[in-house]
Structure 1
């Protein structure tokens, strides 16, 4: 799977985990040069507290376009530290 934004592959993995229709990429498969930590946090009742990254490619910024769970509930252990995308990031084969 590939995550693409602004014409650039920002993550690529053969080992994503799909939950609720979202592909979660292992943290070591994202291209860290495109990711900046965000102060945004949200809470999912069954997964835990999500943290976000802002994606920056070729001078274009997509605020909070990626999220991950640094710590998860027992039900979501499979995605602990994995990164998922939205806000126009295309996830494709």
Structure 2
């Protein structure tokens, strides 16, 4: 699977996990140069506290377009530190 934003592959993996129709990519399979930590956090009732990344490609920013669970709940442990996308990031094979 590939995650693409601004015509650039920002993550690529053969080991994504699908939860609630989102592909979660292992942290090791994202291209770190495009990811900047965000101060945004949200809480999912069953997965726990989410942290976010802003994606930056060619000086264009997509605020909080990627999220992950650094300390996932017991039920969500399989996706702990896996990254998912939204806000126009295309996930495709």
Could you state the TM-score of these two structures normalised by the residue count of structure 1? Answer: 0.99
1:59 Cα deviation after fit: 0.9
Unaligned runs of 5+ in 2: none
Match of 1:57 in 2: 57
Match of 1:67 in 2: 67
* Alignment RMSD: 0.3
> For the residues of structure 2 that align with 1:5 and 1:72, how far apart are their CA atoms?
26
Q: Structure 1 residue runs of 4+, over 3 Å off?
A: none
Unaligned runs of 5+ in 1: none
Q: Is the counterpart of residue 26 in structure 1 residue 37 in structure 2?
A: no
Aligned residue-pair number: 93
> For the residues of structure 2 that align with 1:40 and 1:24, how far apart are their CA atoms?
18
